[in-house]
Chains A and B, each alone.
Chain A
Amino acid sequence: MTKFVKGNEAVVMGALYAGCELYFGYPITPASEIAHGAAKWFPMLGRTFVQAECETASVNMMFGAAGAGKLCMTATSGPGFSLMQEGLSYLAGAELPAVVVDVMRAGPGLGNVYPEQGDYNPAVKGGGHGNYQSFVLAPASAQEMCDYTIRAFKMAAKWRTPAIVLVDGLQGQMMESVALPDAEEPRPDFSSWAAQGEAKTRANLVKSIYLDAAQQEEFNIHLQEKYARMAADAEGTTYLADDAELLICGYGISSRIARTAAETLRAEGIKAGVFRPVTLNPFPRAQLAAAAKGRKIMTIELDAGQFADDIRLNLALAGLGEEATRVKMVHRMGGQVVTVDDAVRSAKEMLA
């Protein structure tokens, strides 16, 4: 079955196929269509939709539902995502699987509802308190907003950590064709740790508190080891990158602008290629390094340079310090989108 739908609607479809049973959400532009779809489709499938009184409530309702062993989700945008940071820390601290979709808008503060990618750091680096990480996926099309939402649930369950689907307002509103899966995902069994209100889970305790410093440290080490293993599920893709002189890096919507920019440059005889991280955390460092070695590197992003900094960091950590110092960025902020013209012009300047 193929549907022509908004990215935001594709998210709900993906969530349902993934076996998500509960949706908790508070309205916010430009993510509201996710709540609208959930309010309609969750009850139709016998699942639960709750409109929470605020984003703090949404994320803590997820804490309860995930703690009770069910797959659950919420969706929000900038200001709501900020309010959820404490809850994300608790979810990670209690090792609970849950999915948050952040349809990014321009900030800081109230900002506006147009697309930005300014939530990169809080999503990718763990915006709440403490040493935790979320699994972060960056779809670039309506199809991927469905597919990666499904993947987000799988990764959240596999790694017992929150998963974030990071998109922007433009992607949420954009309609494209989405081929739906042929089958629903099997429901995971969390009875070994969840508080399910059943005899077999009576001894289970869901918590993020370790009063003893030694125990808290031990738990932190356990988390860090888990996050290190999570790197096995990192993914990055390339386009026209094999012989590229210039590597354009971008995620989500920016990766599509990068794609058109690379094609435009190629048409003018300039060897440009694209590197696109599909997972932002774990970051596909090895794939980036393979594509970037010896190349000039340019990023396209809708923020002040949060992504470029992470590219530099990952290059440096991969031993490509030289390349790291050469990273240039084309960016816009405030709800403006980098144009292909901007990207092509900057690329030429870089190569001149």
Chain B
Amino acid sequence: MKIIEQKGMYKEFPRCGKPHARTTHYCPGCGHGIVNKLVAECCAEMGLQDRTIFVDPVGCGVFTYYYWDAAHISAAHGRASAAATGAARARPDAVTIAYQGDGDLGAIGFNNAFQAASRGEKFGCIFINNSLYGMTGGQMAPTTLEGEKTTTTPFGRDPALTGHPLHVCEVFNQLQAPVYIARVSVADTKRIMQAREAIRRVFEIQRDHKGYALLEILAPCPTNFGMSPQKAAEFCMNEMEKEFPLGVVRDTEKGVAGVEPVKHPESQALAVKSVPRFPTCMELFATPDGTEAPPVEDDPAVPERRFKFAGYGGQGILSLGICVAEAARLEKRHTLWFPSYGPEQRGGSASCSVVVSGMPIGSPTVEHPDVLVCMNQPSYERFAKDVKPGGVIIVDATVPLAVEPPQGVKLYRVPAIKMAEDFGVPKAANTMMLAALRAFKATGLKDDSLETALCASFKKKPQLIEKNRELLRRAEEELKS
């Protein structure tokens, strides 16, 4: 093992467990060792050590934190690009560099790396391609060459069974966002000099916060190639470069095009607009949005009342429930509203529950409603039997009463759907039901609260407020007569 004293590296490597260690853990002739040296040098020479956050992989590169003198986050296998996304978003002023191998990036973490590139995350990704898994013992990686023998392709990689080598740069070059994509090698001195320039470029792009950069570096792994360092380097140059040609695939700033950019209209994104000062939480949530309510007050004299509203989706069942809940919270009651949700809401039926009480509400579910409002037959048949003695059922007149309501339950048949049609507003059948609730004094809430709540529910369509207020009153008169 070679002793390196290098710009940008710690003088000694005590993090490896030996206090005065001076050697790296890389095998002789390993590409990682050379790249580690180049990365450290560039970071130091550009004066970026204080600002840099290295995100380290799992693989042979796992221990870069022993060597590089800068802050490190050691990520899970495959997740360096996801972790780098988090770090770069958390610290936009930092220089974030993810370091990944071909198992880490090309296999388990490919989607994380690809999606980060696609989002144009502001970090640089240095990707070491040595055509196999190094640390775990030379297994096939997505980058393994056709015919290449590895411990999991003992007869050579057979494309018929395992596909062809994955060209990461070329795949990433299909994306719009990356500003820099290049492939270099560290197999000989000339190539090392080119790699050095490319690594500098990655740091430059991050220093200036230009965007996402990917640098693929072809690197020899003498140990798992089963070759001398010299032969491994030759394999890199002669075999790997045939499959993975070197060069700058894209450098948008220097006019090296990638994909032809699609013309998008100017981004309207809120986050990127410069705002002189963002509001505080208190300011944000003080802005009226229709969800504000007076503080709840305990009142033991107000009994608990449980409501169930049910019908077909599109009949305004959920908003009818919200209206009653809204009226209750105007009266400072403990109030709870709960919808049926999930696939249920996409199918035919919709239902919601409302609980109103003077005191804190226990169970949120409405097993035995005091008040049931039904707009269709299935919901009547499902819920009518559960209504509490002394309770009320209000059901649309179109619903055949196939089952008897329980003993002691008052049943009102209201032609809500027909009335709404007669008034020329078929969508307002739920307003008709609200009128019925008011006319039959079924809610225990004040008439005014219900009306205010109804008007509030049309806040986004103010032209409908007066219309619905009028409908509510006319319907109520008709129902009372």
- Show the binding face of A for B, using Cβ within 8 Å: 1-5, 13, 16-17, 21-22, 24, 29-30, 41, 43-46, 48-50, 52-54, 56-57, 60-70, 72, 86-87, 90, 94, 112-114, 169-170, 173-177, 179-184, 194-199, 201-209, 211-212, 215, 253, 256-261, 263, 337, 339-341
Contact = CB atoms under 8 A, between A and B. Distances in A.
B25 to A, nearest CB: 10
Given A63-B76, A197-B53, A202-B50, A1 B86 contact: no
Interface stretch (B132-140, B358-366, B371-379): B358-366
Given A5-B291, A44-B284, A61-B86, 4 more contacts: A13-B281, A61-B83, A176-B335, A195-B71
B65 interface: yes
Contact of A22 (B86, B270, B322): B86
B339 interface: yes
Contacts of B50: 197-199, 202
A2 B75 contact: no
Contacts of A215: 17
B153 interface: no
18 contacts: A1-B282, A4-B329, A43-B269, A43-B271, A46-B275, A60-B83, A64-B86, A66-B86, A68-B91, A72-B90, A112-B343, A113-B342, A173-B339, A176-B335, A177-B295, A195-B87, A212-B17, A257-B365
B51 to A, nearest CB: 5
A60 B76 contact: yes
A60 B112 contact: yes
Interface stretch (B31-39, B92-100, B222-230): B92-100
Given A3-B285, A60-B112, A68-B91, A30 B342 contact: yes
B76 A90 contact: yes
A65 B89 contact: yes
B111 A54 contact: yes
Nearest to A67: B73
B296 interface: yes
B17 A211 contact: yes
Interface of B: 15, 17, 49-53, 55-56, 62, 65, 69-76, 79, 82-91, 93-96, 111-112, 115, 119, 269-271, 275, 278-282, 284-286, 291-296, 322, 325-326, 329, 334-339, 341-343, 361-365, 367
Contacts of A68: 53, 73, 86-87, 90-91, 94
A107 to B, nearest CB: 14
Given A67-B83, A197-B96, A257 B270 contact: no
A348 B70 CA distance: 66
B338 A174 contact: yes
Contacts of A179: 295-296
B282 A183 contact: yes
Contacts, number: 256
Contact of A65 (B76, B79, B90, B295): B90
Contacts of B82: 52, 56-57, 60-61, 63-64
B74 A206 contact: yes
Nearest to B277: A46
A197 B91 contact: yes
A99 B52 CA distance: 26
A197 B338 contact: no
A1 B115 CA distance: 39
Across chains A and B, which 6 residue pairs bring their CB atoms closest together, nearest first?
A197-B94, A64-B86, A260-B362, A64-B83, A46-B278, A195-B71
B329 A177 contact: yes
B111 to A, nearest CB: 6
A60 B282 contact: no
B53 A65 contact: no
Q: Determine chain A's interface SS by DSSP, over half rule.
A: mixed
B74 A177 contact: no
A170 B15 CA distance: 49
A182 B286 CA distance: 11
Most interface-central of A60, A174, A207 (chain B CB within 10 A): A60
A337 B87 contact: no
B71 A201 contact: yes
Nearest to B73: A67
A53 B115 contact: yes
Contacts of A113: 341-343
Contacts of B280: 45, 184
B73 A45 contact: no
A144 B295 CA distance: 15
A203 B271 CA distance: 32
A201 B326 CA distance: 51
A340 B292 contact: no
A15 B88 CA distance: 21
A4 B335 contact: yes
B476 to A, nearest CB: 26
Most interface-central of B49, B334, B364 (chain A CB within 10 A): B364
Contacts of A13: 281, 285
A209 B335 contact: no
Given A44-B270, A65-B90, A174-B338, A197 B71 contact: yes
Given A29-B342, A61-B86, A195 B53 contact: yes
A201 B269 CA distance: 32
Nearest to B361: A256
A296 B163 CA distance: 64
Contacts of B279: 44-45
A1 to B, nearest CB: 5
A65 B90 CA distance: 5
B312 to A, nearest CB: 20
A138 to B, nearest CB: 15
A180 B400 CA distance: 47
A207 B83 CA distance: 12
A143 to B, nearest CB: 9
A87 B292 CA distance: 37
A204 B271 contact: no
Contacts of A30: 341-342
A207 B15 CA distance: 11
A317 to B, nearest CB: 30
Contacts of A63: 73, 75-76, 79, 82-83, 86
A182 B295 CA distance: 14
A212 B63 CA distance: 14
A265 to B, nearest CB: 12
Most interface-central of A62, A86, A175, A209 (chain B CB within 10 A): A175
Nearest to B343: A113
A107 B335 CA distance: 30
